Structure 1
Amino acid sequence: MEEDDREDPARASVKPVDPRLLRYASASRGFFVAIALIALAQTAVIVAFAWLLTSAITSAIDGMPPAGLAPALGWLAAVIAARALLLWAREAVASRAAARVQTQLREALIAAVGTLGPEWLAGRSSAALAITAGRGLDALEAYFGRYLPQLVQTVVATPLILAVMWWQDWISGLTVLLTLPLIPIFMVLIGLATRAVQQRQWRTLQHLASRFSDTVQGLSTLKVFGRQHRAAASVARVTDEYRRETMRVLRVSFLSGFALEFLASISVAIVAVSIGFRLIDGALTLAVGLFVLLLAPEAYLPLRQVGVQFHAAAEGVAATDDVFDVLDAARASAGSATGHSVLPAPRVSEGGALVVRDLRVHRGEGMLPPVAFSAAPGTVTLIEGPSGAGKSSVFAALRGAATFDGGTEYAGADVRTLPASSWLAWAGQQPGLLAGSIAANVALGDPAPDAGLVRRALDLACADSLDPALELGVQGAGLSGGQAQRVAVARAFYRYLRGGAAVIALDEPSSALDLDTEARLWQGVRALADDGAVVLLISHRPSARAVADAVVRLAVRQAQGPGMVRA
């Protein structure tokens, strides 16, 4: 998967706070209120510290004895302790808010992927999504712990400190007011460069994760064809590219930090020189001059720190952009849905036929030929056709993984209004097994698994030789291809036996089986149909016709529309 190096101007723009954060993470709203109150208290402490220190120094110069300085020094110590306490409170509030927001955004991301459905997910890299939900959202710790508190501190503290300086010495206040905008201007310019290189680094990391995942999954095939070394070289190349992007981010960060420090230092020096000249000619008292001089660095510090902390938070900002894009897509999808509201599925005990009328599945920019058939309880409907005719697409439409036109009803209700998980038991060409025991895979989704039904489902799927307690690795590691396929079929059988679905859809369930095992599997399929199940079956094997009550023949060319042949 190659990434486009061109930057989206909208994504590359620098936004202090994305408004979508407040929309999708309610915990951030209280965070901003708490941080604003802490920033207000910190500003008061800063002004008090400068005033108390000025009073102590000028009193000492005037010859006040140590005993007379004790109250001022005591208050000064209290102010220092209060400032430290406020810093701790800000860190604690930010840390808790970051944890809550991370949890809310992860939950919202998972819900959004569920809303968008398998069809949307099929066009995305699952590895990139995992990086976003994992490392990306973890980077919000720096965003909430450093950048946002400093941003709020800037909004609150800088105007107040500037107002106090103007009140005490309008010339110094005017100097700060004129030089202060230089820092935001350079921050915006630096921020644009930082955002661009950070976005490239983030895309490279996602590309690396996707490439590594693809290489690991296809390693067996790569070794058979002798291409594993090229795949490893490709991963190494992307890794080196990520290293270069990371160093580029660090280089921009260091240069921007130097530029901001230089501007702030020059600005404070201008204020100091002005105060010095006016102290010499007597136009300014020492108390006012020292007080304003102590406040001058504090006026520039918040803005300077915002620029510094932006770099630390840039990875989290890049990740939240991806999260918000997914959430926006889910929100638009939910808002533009033209179907009916989702209804509870009919109870399995009620039964009901599956009726498909002129089902046309969307594929890319076009549509597949129409499909029509009716499958009643107690029957097996076989869907045949050459590769590419759209057999699996029909199943994808039924389970909500593909958009389609036409009417499709189960028990008199449009399937688009029914949660597919409550009426359809499906086993696809990919087993889709998870790490855990065979029993856990067979009873997937059942809060209270029935061990007896697990064993019966395995028997019907010709997997009776497998131990239900056997622990599997990731993606079913530990089983052969045929065994994994039979466990997936057993999962669909178990869902029907447990009463969770009345329609069983099996996509090429015998492709990895020998003839004897296949014949036993067809017996299990027939037994479930005779028990009252609606069974839909896709198979290239001629032996499947022996158990079929009806055959739906699909053709690749649209001119050859689907037909229905009674077995």
Structure 2
Amino acid sequence: MKPFDPRLLRYARAARGVLLIGAGLGLLRTCAVLAWSWCLANAITALALPVMDGIPGVRGRIDEGAYGAAQLTWLLLGALAAVLVRSLAGWGMDVVAARGAVRVKAQLRSAALDALDARSPQRDSGPGDAELATSLGRGLDALDGYFSGYIPQLLLTGVATPILVLAVLLADPLSGLIVIVVFPIIPVFMILIGLATQAVQDRQWSQLQRLSSSFLDVVGGLATLRIFGRQDRQIARISRETEEYRSRTMSVLRVTFLSGFVLDLAGTFSIALVAVTVGTRLVSGEFPLGLGLFVLLLLPETFVPIRQVGAAFHASTEGLAAAGRVFAIIESEDELRGAASTSRRTELESGAAAGATAPAAQSVLRFDEVSVARSGRRVVGPTSFAVDRGELVAMAGPSGAGKSTLVAALLGFVAPIRGRIVAPEPISWAGQRPGLLHGSISANVALGDDAPNGGLVRRALDAVGLQHLDGAAELGVAGAGVSGGQAQRIAVARALYRAWNLDCAVLVLDEPTSALDAESEAVVCAALRREADAGRAVLVVSHREAVHRAADRVVRVVAARPEPTTAGVGA
């Protein structure tokens, strides 16, 4: 677990401002600490020397470089001003960190949600819904402690510690040498304790994921559990998961408290070692009193940042763990999308090159020895067929043969492991699920169009036999308010609207009539026939005989024998 993950700067630009402004305020605070220590040490010296003059045995360099009583007022005012500047700088760092945490969380959530929104609908791996909700919700909220507690101390450690160690070294080389020798002990302890913290934190986070998943499963199946009287067993299961999470949390707290004790002990011993050497030389008169007090006042400030950064790090490990999972979500989706888009771009370029030299009657949609794999196993292919302009082709085959998978490869949702798909852009498509949203019927038909064409919406609805539906009628969540057959025809109307509005050369539909009666199915088939007659290449995945009869020809897809495959995309 890294103290600071550079990916924060990549995916949350607000983190850069937090670091830059925080570093500047940390430098100001360090200067104030130096000024405060110097003014206070010399003010105490100015007050103490008149008293010490009457004590027998006081001699040597005790009064070397001391200020007189006349400068006492200015020294005290300087110390007071330094305290105010230090307080304001510290307050400013806290404010910048707190506000930065809000912006960073928002940017990370936005990046993760964008990645999830752009991921393939055919994704067969990755975190579940419960894990995503936990990571993007409570997990990222834990970054508040990381930014408000840990980041300011980390900045002070990086900015203040070198300056303060250098100041001690210049003021008293012997004390500075001792600090340099003993100082690395604390980072070593921090690394060792950090490894232990990472182990217990990972176990706690895994347990929280299991608890979230268990609770989501129980809520989803609550009605079924009550019907069969099995709810008590699930209550016991949730109780066990909760108790285990409580135990994991206490383990994290135990390590946190022990780490704080160890770091404080190491820092205290280091300060004590320097204090003994300074005190010994002061007693023997080998060291100026003002300089000795300056070193002693500066020593705690030298060790405080690194001691506090260790304690703050342990308090913010949950946020770091969640951020790591959010980064994994963003990067995994980016990688998958990049691989699919690269494959898709190669295919489209090949299609464009072919289209530049071929006559208009040539196939605009072509599958050449295409094979697709799922979870490392080939599920379809090699398959080859083509769809010409003005042709209506039905794709048939047993359930599970890979028809929808081939469509997913055509749309770029998955990348073929072998072969090539040639197709123009854009493609108009309707899937097996209508995918209706809350809003008007017209908005659902023209989904994705910033300037909907009301005339095309009405034409698309009429084409699929929905003349009686009012485009202004509102649908509920997931298209509530219309029947399953009507929802399916609205999805087909959406595909027609896109084809007309964008002048798509290819129209692809996956089981567009599975929920329709014979009369409605005939209307949809007639609409598809008209699209083919208009010069489009129409590909329909269907088990229905009526669709097969309406098609110019039927392509049969046979399920592939499962064979181990290797990653990669064929040329």
TM-score (norm 2): 0.80
Identity, in percent, stands at 46
Identify the residue that residue 419 of structure 2 maps to in structure 1. 406
1:306 to 306, 309, 325: 309
Cα distance in structure 1, aligned partners of 2:498 and 2:397: 27
SS at match of 2:435: coil
Identify the residue that residue 414 of structure 1 maps to in structure 2. none
Alignment of 1:107-186 (within 5 A): 108-109=111-112, 112=115, 117-120=120-123, 122-186=125-189
SS at match of 2:386: strand
How far off is 1:354 after superposition?
A: 1.6
* In the alignment, structure 1 residue 509 sits paired with structure 2 residue 512: yes
Identify the residue that residue 366 of structure 2 maps to in structure 1. 355
Residues 109 and 323 in structure 1, CA contact (< 8 A), matched pair in contact too = yes
How far off is 1:361 after superposition?
A: 1.9
SS at match of 2:316: helix
1:52 to 31, 39, 58: 39
How far off is 1:48 after superposition?
A: 0.9
* In the alignment, structure 1 residue 427 sits paired with structure 2 residue 455: no
Alignment of 1:474-493 (within 5 A): 474-476=477-479, 481-493=484-496
Change in CA separation of 1:143 and 1:173 when aligned onto 2, cut-off 3 Å: same
* In the alignment, structure 1 residue 318 sits paired with structure 2 residue 321: yes
CA deviation profile, 1:438-496 (whole Å, cap 9, x unmatched) = 43333221111233433443444455565544555554455554454444333323322
Alignment of 1:29-48 (within 5 A): 29=16, 31-48=18-35
Alignment of 1:338-353 (within 5 A): 340=345, 353=364
Residues 396 and 554 in structure 2, CA contact (< 8 A), matched pair in contact too = yes
How far off is 1:112 after superposition?
A: 4.9
CA deviation profile, 1:385-406 (whole Å, cap 9, x unmatched) = 1111111111111111222222
Residues 348 and 423 in structure 2, CA contact (< 8 A), matched pair in contact too = no
Out of 261-270 and 77-86, give the one that drifted further: 261-270
2:87 to 63, 84, 87: 84
CA deviation profile, 1:342-386 (whole Å, cap 9, x unmatched) = 869989xx9973222322222333332332322234433211111
Larger radius of gyration: 2
Residues 427 and 491 in structure 1, CA contact (< 8 A), matched pair in contact too = no
Cα distance in structure 2, aligned partners of 1:96 and 1:58: 42
How far off is 1:305 after superposition?
A: 1.1
Gaps of 5+ in 2: 51-66, 563-571
Identify the residue that residue 565 of structure 2 maps to in structure 1. none
SS at match of 2:398: coil
Change in CA separation of 1:536 and 1:233 when aligned onto 2, cut-off 3 Å: farther
Change in CA separation of 1:331 and 1:390 when aligned onto 2, cut-off 3 Å: closer
How far off is 1:134 after superposition?
A: 4.6
How far off is 1:268 after superposition?
A: 2.9
2:408 counterpart letter in structure 1: A
How far off is 1:86 after superposition?
A: 1.5
How far off is 1:218 after superposition?
A: 6.1
How far off is 1:307 after superposition?
A: 0.7
SS at match of 2:270: helix
Out of 493-502 and 536-545, give the one that drifted further: 493-502
Out of 544-553 and 501-510, give the one that drifted further: 501-510
Out of 451-460 and 388-397, give the one that drifted further: 451-460
CA deviation profile, 1:271-329 (whole Å, cap 9, x unmatched) = 44444444444444432332222112111101111111212332332233223334544
Cα distance in structure 1, aligned partners of 2:232 and 2:554: 47
How far off is 1:527 after superposition?
A: 4.2
Change in CA separation of 1:452 and 1:142 when aligned onto 2, cut-off 3 Å: farther
2:451 to 436, 448, 466: 448
Gaps of 5+ in 1: 1-13, 412-417, 560-567
How far off is 1:234 after superposition?
A: 5.2
Cα distance in structure 2, aligned partners of 1:535 and 1:465: 27
Cα distance in structure 1, aligned partners of 2:259 and 2:447: 52
How far off is 1:250 after superposition?
A: 2.7
How far off is 1:29 after superposition?
A: 4.6
SS at match of 2:381: coil
How far off is 1:46 after superposition?
A: 0.7
Identify the residue that residue 291 of structure 1 maps to in structure 2. 294
CA deviation profile, 1:500-531 (whole Å, cap 9, x unmatched) = 63433222233333444444443443444444
How far off is 1:80 after superposition?
A: 1.4
* In the alignment, structure 1 residue 200 sits paired with structure 2 residue 185: no
Residues 388 and 556 in structure 1, CA contact (< 8 A), matched pair in contact too = yes
Alignment of 1:452-463 (within 5 A): 452-462=455-465
Identify the residue that residue 251 of structure 1 maps to in structure 2. 254
Residues 430 and 512 in structure 2, CA contact (< 8 A), matched pair in contact too = no
SS at match of 2:504: coil
SS at match of 1:369: strand
Change in CA separation of 1:459 and 1:138 when aligned onto 2, cut-off 3 Å: farther
2:394 to 354, 372, 382: 382
Change in CA separation of 1:254 and 1:107 when aligned onto 2, cut-off 3 Å: same
Residues 369 and 558 in structure 1, CA contact (< 8 A), matched pair in contact too = no
Identify the residue that residue 548 of structure 2 maps to in structure 1. 545
Change in CA separation of 1:309 and 1:281 when aligned onto 2, cut-off 3 Å: same
Residues 404 and 510 in structure 2, CA contact (< 8 A), matched pair in contact too = yes
Change in CA separation of 1:407 and 1:271 when aligned onto 2, cut-off 3 Å: closer
Cα distance in structure 2, aligned partners of 1:58 and 1:129: 61
Cα distance in structure 1, aligned partners of 2:272 and 2:281: 14
Cα distance in structure 2, aligned partners of 1:42 and 1:120: 51
Cα distance in structure 1, aligned partners of 2:251 and 2:558: 54
SS at match of 1:504: strand
Cα distance in structure 2, aligned partners of 1:34 and 1:361: 51
How far off is 1:47 after superposition?
A: 1.2
1:354 counterpart letter in structure 2: L
Cα distance in structure 1, aligned partners of 2:481 and 2:185: 63
SS at match of 1:267: helix
How far off is 1:120 after superposition?
A: 4.5
TM-score (norm 1): 0.80
Identify the residue that residue 370 of structure 1 maps to in structure 2. 382
Identify the residue that residue 53 of structure 2 maps to in structure 1. none
Cα distance in structure 1, aligned partners of 2:393 and 2:421: 15
Cα distance in structure 2, aligned partners of 1:169 and 1:236: 61
1:522 to 510, 521, 525: 525
Out of 528-537 and 229-238, give the one that drifted further: 229-238
